[in-house]
Amino acid sequence: MIFNPEYECMERGARAQLQLARLKNLAEMLYERVPFYRNKMEALGIRSGDIHCLRDIEKLPFTTKDDLRENYPHGLLACPKDRIVEVHMSSGTTGKPVVDEYTKNDIDIWRESMARTMAAGGCTKDDIVQNCYGYGLFTGGPGAHYGAMTIGAEVLPMSSGNTARQLMVLQDFGSTMLTCTPSYALYMSEEAADAGIDLKKLPICKGCFGAEPWSENMRKEIEDRYGMKAYDIYGLTEIVGPGVSFECEAQNGLHINEDLFYPEIIDPETGKTLPDGEKGELVFTTLTKEGTPILRYRTRDITFLMREPCSCGRTTVKMHRLFGRTDDMLIIRGVNVFPSQIEHALFEIEGTEPQYLIVVNRGDTYLDEVELQVEVKQEFFSDETKNLEVLRNKIEGVMKSKLQISLKVKLVEPKTIERSIGKAKRVIDNRKI
Ligand code: DLL
């Protein structure tokens, strides 16, 4: 179903006019209200009056994750603080999170974009949506909740984890739609099989999955095991959360809500804009946001844009499912983790050497497992093993509180982690996604 045909199927020229008007407003507003953007625009000698067509966006400055981190927590706010009604965050590179602050209108835009997303995944007012994205500062849970409610569906706000309870509810409440990370959907299906539950016999028949990379093979597995249609959905905290782009029934690229979020693809090395069909770094500008609008945000996600007409009737530009990232950000069970965060935390723990290796596996259970190998001072190995145990527990505790993921720590003797003469290899990612 197309939730909002007026905007999703808009004639392209008319949409471009709308985008241009919104872009001009945005540039003017950011210049007036946010010193960070004013300084950047002044340095480039550009004002909103210099924007005459959409391509003129290339004259405007980029924004990076570092910019957001440096302006933490409220430096990029573009409206009076008392207009903010909700805040979300996700991990930043060295522990300072990325913050999205929403006004009432921003939440309405989010509702709209998630309603479009979930409607494209088949959600109607008759659905019972089991929402197993995490609730809290993460945008996944609230985003899918808002979308389902806007459509008029019934929402079960399960949040993530407690799989036995998820399966009980799935059966007893007859959930028809599932929203969670794709790896959690697979994990749940394994647990269901172990418990003798045949998911194909249950009413569950559709799902919107995202927040981490997944593949066509994973889609096929999920679709087979549940007897459902599985759709890819994409988004990021900096822009709105989930709801930036979504698959339709064609399952061939993700439609971007481009009247709200303007996409570009650039060469990550030169910053030059690339033509449609060419792979590069995805950049977004929020066209209507009021709380923390953002100009030309470099997502670090790699994809290309497609403008061929889609069989579903939507006229919005599509992005190919992601090919990866330009940085070293890992997504572990849906949580963004930078190796530098782990390094930072380790440095503060007495007894460890600055040598570590992060090994990521996806076992038979489909859930990511992380082993953190850390070199510790020799004396720990000559001492009682009790001390090693205490240190191991301490590192695991620190990592859990700083990164919000559980990982297994393996303490190793000095000089056992392979040294490299070039860039140190900090991550071995064995996941075959
Ligand atoms: O993951 C928002 C979200 C929630 C999207 C629920 C979809 C569903 P962040 O935690 O800020 O926000 O992480 C954003 O996750 O830049 C991508 O690298 C990655 N990502 C998100 N969706 C997908 C996807 C949410 N469908 C970062 N495929 C993004 C691959 C994805 N990677």
For residue 383, the enclosing domain spans: 335-429
Do 217 and 363 lie in one domain? The reply is no
Do 342 and 269 lie in one domain? The reply is no
Do 59 and 132 lie in one domain? The reply is yes
Q: At what angle do helices 339-347 and 385-403 cross, to 10 degrees?
A: 130
**Beta-strand relationship, 427-429 and 352-362:** parallel
Ligand 1 touching residue 299 (CB < 6 A): yes
Give the 3-state secondary structure of residue 28.
helix
CATH code (residue 378): 3.30.300.30
The answer for residues whose C-beta is within 8 angstroms of residue 64's C-beta and 6 or more apart is: 297, 298
pLDDT at 404 over 90: no
Do 202 and 91 lie in one domain? The reply is yes
pLDDT band at 383 (very low <50, low <70, confident <90, very high): low
pLDDT at 420 over 80: no
pLDDT band at 422 (very low <50, low <70, confident <90, very high): low
Do 306 and 345 lie in one domain? The reply is no
Q: Which residue has the tokens 């090994």?
A: 359
What pLDDT is recorded for position 113? Answer: 98
pLDDT band at 384 (very low <50, low <70, confident <90, very high): confident
Do 295 and 389 lie in one domain? The reply is no
CATH code (residue 101): 3.40.50.12780
| Rounded percentage of the chain residues whose pLDDT exceeds 90 | 78
Which helix (H) or strand (E) is 232 found in, with range?
A: strand 229-236
Pocket mutation for ligand 1, best pick of 234, 326, 330 (most atoms within 8 Å of C-beta): 234
Domain end, chosen from 279, 310, 327, is at: 327
The Cα–Cα gap between 170 and 156 comes to 10
Ligand 1 touching residue 325 (CB < 6 A): yes
Domain end, chosen from 327, 354, 372, is at: 327
- Nearest 10 degrees: Cα torsion 347, 349, 354, 358: -100
Using an 8 Å Cβ cutoff, are 322 and 303 in contact? yes
Domain end, chosen from 327, 357, 376, is at: 327
Ligand 1 touching residue 133 (CB < 6 A): yes
Do 104 and 210 lie in one domain? The reply is yes
The answer for residues whose C-beta is within 8 angstroms of residue 355's C-beta and 6 or more apart is: 374, 375, 414, 417
Three-state DSSP string of 242-267: EEEEEECCCCCCEEECCCCEEEEEEC
Across 221-225, 332-336, 350-354, 411-415, which has the greatest mean pLDDT? 221-225
Ligand 1 touching residue 241 (CB < 6 A): yes
Distance 270 CA to ligand 1 centre (A): 25
Write out the two tokens for 262: 């303007």
The answer for residues whose C-beta is within 8 angstroms of residue 352's C-beta and 6 or more apart is: 346, 374, 375, 376, 377, 391, 395
Do 319 and 387 lie in one domain? The reply is no
Q: Cis bond leading into 73, ω under 30°?
A: yes
pLDDT at 363 over 60: yes
Do 102 and 163 lie in one domain? The reply is yes
Do 253 and 341 lie in one domain? The reply is no
Number of domains in the chain: 2
